[in-house]
């Protein structure tokens, strides 16, 4: 059971837009897992009720023609049925997306900066061989920068490029899995 309520304020002919949303959700029978002897994982429905509540604020600026800057911040207070902070749900997250379109709309460049605050995660690799319980560890926060760009060569042909994780920042979504290193892509889109 959940709800969300928000408001949007548009100013200066849509050159500034502010969105704010508050939300809350209660969940019963949440899907989880338990570890059995031999480190076999078994899915279960957890007892009790977990709770998620928070607020998200987004601000979009269009200071000059062709330039859009969007910033978003999310605060989440998420606890399980025992009142403990839920795993993989950082309290603070957000980012800034900048996009600039020029040459009559033919060219586009963008910079995306994503922030993930510290969170708590089970360290399955350090589970006790006696109790089969994984310790909960704190995973550091991270900032990842991505670049993107494109150019419309003809009405039906567009070239584009993307650089993900420009500064090769380690970012842990799930403990034990490597973060994506710096990667670059070039491509051509053809459509009729």
Quick check: helix, strand or coil at residue 124?
helix
Sheet holding 92-102, edge to edge: 2-11, 16-28, 49-61, 67-79, 92-102, 107-116, 142-152, 157-164, 183-190
CA distance 139 to 89: 11
49: left (phi over 0), alpha (psi -120 to 50) or beta: beta
pLDDT band for 132, please (50, 70, 90 cuts).
low
pLDDT band for 131, please (50, 70, 90 cuts).
low
Q: What is the pLDDT of residues 170-183, one digit of tens each?
A: 888 777 777 889 99
C-beta atoms surrounding 139 within 10 Å: 20
């Amino acid at each position: 059971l959940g709800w969300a309520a928000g408001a949007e304020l548009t100013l200066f002919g849509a050159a500034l837009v502010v969105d704010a949303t508050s939300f809350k959700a209660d969940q019963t029978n949440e899907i989880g897992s338990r570890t059995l002897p031999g480190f076999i994982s078994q899915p279960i429905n957890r007892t009790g009720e977990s709770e998620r509540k928070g607020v998200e604020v987004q601000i979009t600026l269009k200071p000059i023609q062709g330039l859009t800057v969007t910033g978003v911040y999310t605060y989440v207070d998420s606890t399980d049925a025992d009142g403990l902070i839920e795993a993989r749900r950082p309290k603070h997250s957000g980012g800034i997306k900048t996009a600039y379109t020029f040459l009559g709309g033919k060219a586009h460049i963008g910079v995306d900066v994503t922030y993930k605050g510290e969170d708590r995660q089970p360290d399955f690799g350090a589970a006790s061989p006696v109790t089969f319980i994984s310790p909960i560890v704190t995973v550091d926060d991270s900032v990842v920068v991505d670049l993107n760009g494109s150019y419309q060569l003809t009405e039906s042909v567009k070239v584009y490029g993307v650089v993900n994780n420009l500064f090769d920042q380690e970012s842990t979504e799930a403990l034990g899995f490597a973060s994506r290193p710096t990667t670059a892509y070039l491509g051509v889109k053809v459509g009729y």
